[in-house]
Chain A
């Protein structure tokens, strides 16, 4: 943070004042836009702005932190999950869409099966409703665990669980139903790779379109209504 009073690079000495005013948001709309156009191409000016931002930022220490309401975190978790899924959606017909198309065919087949069943009461129509799967990704992007849910049952099946809690901590599974303000705890995970998690009717109803998270928590689980430790894995529930 050296002073550049003599303005060694021969620029307009008021550039430094403009940079400070820009950081403070004191420039009028027109002047601000004009300054931003210059910032795009003038590295030295960018340096002045960054120096002023660093110089003034300790003033913000005076501001006390205030915990924001839980629904913002929930909305952002959904937003980030949707953004990750977005590139697949943009790439023409997605796998999910194809599966859905096939499912439509399956529904026609099921209807036929129901008709058949009327005449052949001994033949049971195959289940053709949706099932759900979520791939929970770990911090390095690897698959931490896969969760499967069949809405006819009340059990969420986890397989291939590969994340471990830090020493003296436990893993807790959370479900954030679509549009919900706060996550529901689905319980603590035992240290096994295959786990069947029993769901309450409320939790089961929230699985389709929901978001699953695994956090690390103190023994006995989170002392609060939501995760308190680091999120170790996260994934959105998709219909298959």
Chain B
């Protein structure tokens, strides 16, 4: 909501999650105010449908309320945990929706996942590093990794998109991920 007072630091967000674990409604709403726009953006990107994204966002915060107590048990940083909850819920919805509709239709609406130059200009050092490492991969393979992460594309979607057999796609992507990991650990 208002930009001036929104909590933004990682420590603040972590503190809010721990308060939510205690059933603190006020912390829950503050956490929502601080993170809902980011998580809604992610749901929208994956689902490409406003009504579905709204529905999933609500589901995501219900999960956050219920599972905040288990947050400490995993080793994730607070934003990674929140984004993971949102991505998983949105992709689960996408997969159920795809069972109901035709795959090909959904694929055509998928926007290009390549990072825009504006976004990389203001990106954090971590984002710059992963962008640099993705740039070392062949462009379509980097695009495939981002397509899986940001658009929830399955191996089947990726194989159809790039016109290769599913197993070839899997080999490509596994190799690309291994290269990405090596590049990031340097």
Which B residues from 153 to 184 make CB contacts under 8 A with A? 154-155, 173-174, 177-178, 180-182, 184
Residue in contact with A141 in the complex, picked from B24, B40, B57, B116, CB distance below 8 Å: B24
Residues B2 and A76 in contact, CB atoms below 8 Å apart: no
State how many angstroms separate the Cβ of A168 from the closest Cβ of chain B: 11
Residues of A196-240 at the interface with B, using a CB-CB cut-off of 8 Å, are: 213, 216, 218, 222-224, 226-234
Query: Contacts A26-B173, A69-B54 hold; do A234 and B25 have CB atoms under 8 A apart?
Result: yes
B47 CB to closest chain A CB (Å) equals 12
Q: Which of A45-92 contact B (CB under 8 A)?
A: 46-47, 50, 53-69, 72-73, 75-77, 79-81, 83-84
A17 CB-CB contact with B under 8 Å: yes
Chain B: CB-nearest residue to A65? B37
Q: Which of A25, A79, A229 is in CB contact (< 8 Å) with B87?
A: A25
Contact check, A68 vs B40: say whether CB atoms are below 8 A apart. yes
Instruction: Say whether chain B's binding surface is mostly helix, strand, loop, or mixed.
Output: helix
A76–B150 touching, CB < 8 Å: no
Cα distance A141–B74 when bound, in Å? 26
A68–B124 contact, CB under 8 A? Answer: no
Which residues of chain A come closer than 8 Å to B83, judged between CB atoms? 57, 60
Question: Number of B residues contacting the other chain (C-beta, 8 Å)?
Answer: 72
Give the nearest-CB partner of A216 in chain B: B5
Q: How far is the CA of A58 from the CA of B33 in the complex (A)?
A: 21
Residues of chain A contacted by B27 (CB below 8 angstroms): 139
Q: Which of A58, A67, A76 contacts B127 (CB 8 A)?
A: A58
Q: Which residues of chain A are within 8 angstroms of B54 by Cβ–Cβ distance?
A: 68-69, 72
Known: A66-B44, A139-B19. A50 touches B75 (CB 8 A): yes
Report the separation of the CA atoms of residues A68 and B58 in the bound assembly, to the nearest whole angstrom: 10
Q: Are A231 and B26 in contact (CB under 8 A)?
A: yes
Minimum distance in angstroms from A236 CB to a CB of chain B: 9
From the candidates A58, A216, A233, name the one contacting B130 in the complex (CB within 8 A): A58
Question: Contacting A77 at CB < 8 Å: which of B25, B91, B119, B145?
Answer: B25
Cβ-closest chain B residue relative to A14 = B174
Residues of B within 8 A of A216 (CB): 5
Interface centre among B2, B54, B75 (most CB of A within 10 A): B2
Instruction: Tell me whether A186 is interfacial, beta carbon within 8 Å.
Output: no
B61 near A76: Cβ-Cβ < 8 Å: yes
Residues of chain B within 8 A of A167, CB atoms compared? none
Cα distance A138–B97 in the bound complex, in angstroms: 41
A133 contacts the other chain (Cβ, under 8 Å)?
no
Q: Are A66 and B127 in contact, CB atoms less than 8 angstroms apart?
A: no
Partner of B25, one of A16, A60, A61, A81: A81
| Cβ contact of B181, chosen from A3, A72, A76, cutoff 8 A | A3
A61 touches B80 (CB 8 A): no
**Does residue A147 face the partner (Cβ distance < 8 Å to B)?**
no
18 contacts between A and B (CB under 8 A): A2-B185, A16-B181, A24-B145, A25-B88, A25-B152, A26-B155, A57-B83, A58-B127, A62-B113, A62-B127, A62-B146, A63-B150, A65-B38, A76-B29, A80-B25, A139-B26, A141-B22, A229-B5
Beyond A59-B149, A62-B150, A230-B26, 14 extra complex contacts between A and B, CB < 8 Å: A20-B177, A21-B173, A26-B148, A46-B74, A53-B76, A55-B180, A58-B130, A59-B115, A62-B113, A65-B37, A68-B54, A75-B58, A80-B25, A231-B30
